[in-house]
Structures are given as C-alpha cells and as structure tokens.
Amino acid sequence: MRFYKATAFLFPRSYERRILFICFGAVHVPLIACIVLQAVTGKWEVLTLVTLLVATLAGTAMGLAAIHALLAPIGRATGMLAAIQNGERIALVPQGGDDLVGRLLHGVATAANESATRIEQLSDVAEKDPLTGIRNRRGFLDSAKAALRGGRGGVIALIDVDHFKAINDDLGHAAGDRLLQVLAERIEHHIRRNDVAARWGGEEFAVLLPDTSIDDARLVLERLRAQIALDSGLGVADRAVTFSCGLATVPTFAQLEDATCRADAALYAAKGAGRNRVHIAHEPVR
C-alpha cells in the first residue's frame, strides 16, 4: 500500500495510467543507461543507439498494450461491483484463472449471487402477505403496473368476506386466519395465469383481470362467489362463507386509484344490498 499511495500523485484518478507510466519509465532504463555510458566514455555508437531506441519503443508499445489488456478484467470487475451496490443484477460474470484477477472475479461472482439472493428475499418479504402467501398491496400495485403496461385495460375486483368479525368472535382469530389462507388459495386457483390477486387488507382481497370486459369479469367473480358459498372445506365448521364484491373498469394504470375507489364504492353497495353478491361500479363521467 505504501508504493500505491506514494505514486498516487502521478494519476490520482487513473490506476491504469499510473501503471502504464511506471512501466514506460522502466522500459526506457536500458536506453538511458546506454546514452549515459556513451556520453561518459565519449564513444558514440549511433547505430547501436538507434537500434536500442527502436527496440525500446517497440517493446514499450507492446508492453503497454499487454498491460492494458491484462488490466481490463479489473476494470470490468470494478464496474460489476458498482452495479451490485446499486442493486442491479449481473447477467454474466466472466471466469478467471487461479491468479489474482481470477480470485477477484470469483469474489465478484460470489457477491453478485449473494446480492441477487438477498434482493429476491427482500422482494418476497416486501411484496407478499405473510399470512396468506399471496401478494400484499405493494406487490399488487407492482404487478398491476406490468399487467397494464402499454395502455392495456382491465377490471379490478375488490372482495370482502361477509360477517368476518362474527367468525373471529365466535370461532377465534385462528379460525379467521385459516379462512383467509384457504380463501386466498381458492382465489389464486380460480383466476387465470395473467390475473393478479392480492390481500388488500384485513379480510379484503383485490383481483386485477387484464384485457377483460366488465361482463366477463362479472362472470368470473360470480362463479367464484358461488363456489365459495358451496365450499364446505373452508375451516369454519358448518357455517357458510360468502363474500361481497365490487367491480370497476381500469382503462390504464394511471387510473387504477380512481378505479379502486369506484370498486370500493360498488363493494359497499353490495354489502348494503344484502351481501353475497357482485356489484358493478358506475362508469366515470367523461
């Protein structure tokens, strides 16, 4: 580290140029020694000096090119480490030999893999509901942004379990939690692969159905509602479980918040109309 710090004044911002400069000077030592010797002795051999000068310049050019190439993996490793620190994924990490550069590249590869694993774990924690294992509100919004990319429209459904407080009060919170887990499984199993389901909060779930008309979305949710009402495996003894649902069209992702408010209003209208039903929100005034 002493020599590294002592030579920092040469090129403070370029380690590569510092090495090239030192090597350039080292290669010219024989030529300088020859010139000094001939000057002291007074015996000038021009042909020898010219030959040595040409050989020195040629060797310098080849040496500098080789050193530049040998330092390239270090520059690449530095760039990859910066990308890892920024949370970016490294698609391909070059493999080196059993030398200093090879060990450096191996260390970068290890750091990249560990960083990717941590990012995935943190993403799962941040975007998944710990009780049901499906997306939470944040995960839903991230997935909805991708599903509605390019101006694709769809329908958002808000689902709320009817009389959930009574289930908690009569059967205990463990039974209520189990019901939410099973209901999340039923919803995920019922919807299509490109649909997005999430636990919206409490006993409320959200489903986004991209590229779907409001009538088709209503058929999907009506079938789910009927299946849940007849399902005897929801873990609440002999009590029937039903849900109310509000639907609203989503023209673009930018209008998702407004659509969610309209679906929420339709959900409460379904609750007020007797529960166990699906209501469609009024279209916004254009």
Task: For residue 203, indicate whether it is catalytic.
Answer: yes
Neighbours of 280 (CB within 10 A): 21
What's the CA gap between 72 and 177, in Å, rounded? 56
Q: Which of 188, 203, 257, 283 is catalytic?
A: 203
Q: Which residues are paired to 132 by β-bridges?
A: none
Helices (H), the chain: 2-6, 15-27, 29-41, 46-85, 100-127, 137-147, 164-171, 173-190, 214-230, 256-272
The angle at the Cα of 227, spanning 273 to 281, to the nearest 5 degrees, equals: 35
Tokens 């090239």 belong to residue: 20
Tokens 């479980």 belong to residue: 241
Residues that are catalytic: 203
